[in-house]
Amino acid sequence: MDELHYEFAKDFDRAWLNFELDLPLHPQADGKANPFYVDRFGNPLAELKDALLAPFHKPPKFFFSGHRGCGKSTELLHLLGDAEIQEKYWPINFSIRQDADIVDIDFKDVLLAIGGRLYREYRQAGGELPEHLLQELSNWKGKVTHEVGTIQEGRMSSEIGADLDAYFVSAGLRMRLEPARRVEIRQTFEKDITGLIAVINAISSAIYAKEKRYPLVLIDDMDKPELEKARAIFHDRREIMTQPNCVIVYTVSSALFYSKEFDAIRDQAIFLPNINITKSLPEGSVLQEGISTLKKFIKLRMSPALIESEAAELAIQYSGGVFREMARIMRTSIGRARRRKASIIEVADIEWSATEIRNEYRRILDKEDIKLLRRIHKTKRLEYVDRLRPLMQLLAVLEYREYRDGENWCDIHPVLRNLIDV
């Protein structure tokens, strides 16, 4: 895979790349923020950072939620490079997609991913684990492979550490790609889940002993599994998921965040709202802080000579304060401007993009959805939560928080206003 370059765009080709919908914003090598990173006004990430820097007796677990596209992954990567976080923790960040099948995910998959990532990334960073621990892990591996059958690929290494590297990689691949073997491995861990927890804790303790920093595990994309899978992990098995002896930040979906089953861990949850560009009431009142944030989102990525100022303003309004929707509108508009052989994005390009998004919703939403969206647009209230949940997942309904009083409210996606008036 080619290395990502965060290069300011002076033409549409580069701008097209810069507005990729899932562009990861990694910190720079010197620890500075990514050149495309935008700090939002009243950023709740500060709340998460404060919680992480607070003293604790037992390594805490946090649940980081927000709407799809609101910037959770970006904020976690930014947190990863924070100097104070680096001083207190030995942090790692990974996507659960790389280690498990999102469609068929189980709490044991997540725990294996945590243990394997801690082990491999610490060794890859040049860290050394004590020989007695390596032998204990090797004995545990032998017990698992005896139960399951071999899950070792390639030739056995004479070095225990390298052999364990290969084991974790192979086990993870099979958990992600081979349904039959996945069942076998899960059944083995189910018999001795304390053994898997003990492995994680032993690795964590060894890292702390060497580094004098607590391991901090930031797990991205845990908001992607369907609601029932997420409930099974974070509600039914919440005690087990909080047992690893390291600090963990799990991403969780807004659907889970608003479910009753989440109440037991809500005090450990932090919600990342969308960028607030208007007040709830009176209708249409502009919030300059939010507008400025999204203007910066564009200006850091692309020359202002490539877009009319009126078009940029309209794109911001149609985005609803969602970073991913902002990128989506910009990319679609760039595509249309290129097809027109134009040198600048015009208002008509933005309107065309909004129509495309509206048409997608028109295919999905039924009459009852439209009725509910009308009520929400009128009241701005977070009511009818069960019925709201799928609409929030679709970004048909967006949640905001007032900057000054912290009150939450919601509204429909701006592109849908024409649709509900029909």
Could you count the other beta carbons within 10 Å of the beta carbon of residue 291?
18
Tell me the C-alpha distance between 326 and 330, whole Å: 6
Instruction: Identify the weakest region by mean pLDDT among 37-46, 289-298, 334-343, 356-365.
Output: 37-46
pLDDT at 192 over 60: yes
Give 382's pLDDT tier (boundaries 50, 70, 90): confident
- Reply yes or no on whether the pLDDT at 266 is more than 80: no
Q: Mean pLDDT for the chain?
A: 87
Report the pLDDT value the prediction gives residue 280, as an integer from 0 to 100: 64
- E strand residue ranges, 201-254: 214-220, 247-253
Query: Is the model more confident about 73 or about 188?
Result: 73
What DSSP state is assigned to residue 127? -
Chain Cα centroid distance, residue 51: 19
Query: Could you name the CATH architecture of 45-272?
Result: 3-Layer(aba) Sandwich (3.40)
Contact present, 144 and 175 (Cβ < 8 Å): no
| CA–CA distance, 410 with 387 (Å, rounded to integer) | 14
> Tens digit of pLDDT for each residue in 48-97?
999 999 999 999 999 999 888 888 999 999 998 899 999 999 999 999 99
* DSSP structure string for 132-182: HHHHHHHHHHHHHHHHH-----SSPPSSHHHHHHHHHHHHHHHHHH-HHHH
Q: What pLDDT is stored for residue 30 in this prediction?
A: 82
Would you state the pLDDT for residue 158?
Answer: 47
DSSP designation for 87: H
Please identify which residue in the block is written with the tokens 């290069």. Answer: 7
> What residue type is 342 in one-letter code?
A
Q: Please give the model's pTM, rounded to 2 decimal places.
A: 0.87
How many Cβ atoms from other residues are within 10 Å of residue 186's Cβ? 17
Closest CA to 63 of 274, 215, 256, 268: 268
Closest CA to 218 of 251, 252, 253, 249: 249
Helical (H) or strand (E) element with 233:
helix 227-234
Q: How far apart are CA 254 and CA 358, in angstroms?
A: 22
Cross-strand partners of 302: 9
**Mean pLDDT on 265-272:** 82
Closest to 185 measured CA to CA, from 225, 244, 141: 141
The mean pLDDT value for 160-169 works out to 74
Q: Where in the chain is the domain with CATH 3.40.50?
A: 45-272
How far from 20 is each of 9, 132, 156, 317, 335, CA to CA, in Å?
13, 47, 41, 20, 12
pLDDT tens digits for 208-243?
999 999 999 999 999 998 888 998 999 889 899 999
Q: What is the mean pLDDT of residues 305-320?
A: 97
Estimate to the nearest angstrom the gap between the alpha carbon of 314 and the chain centroid: 27
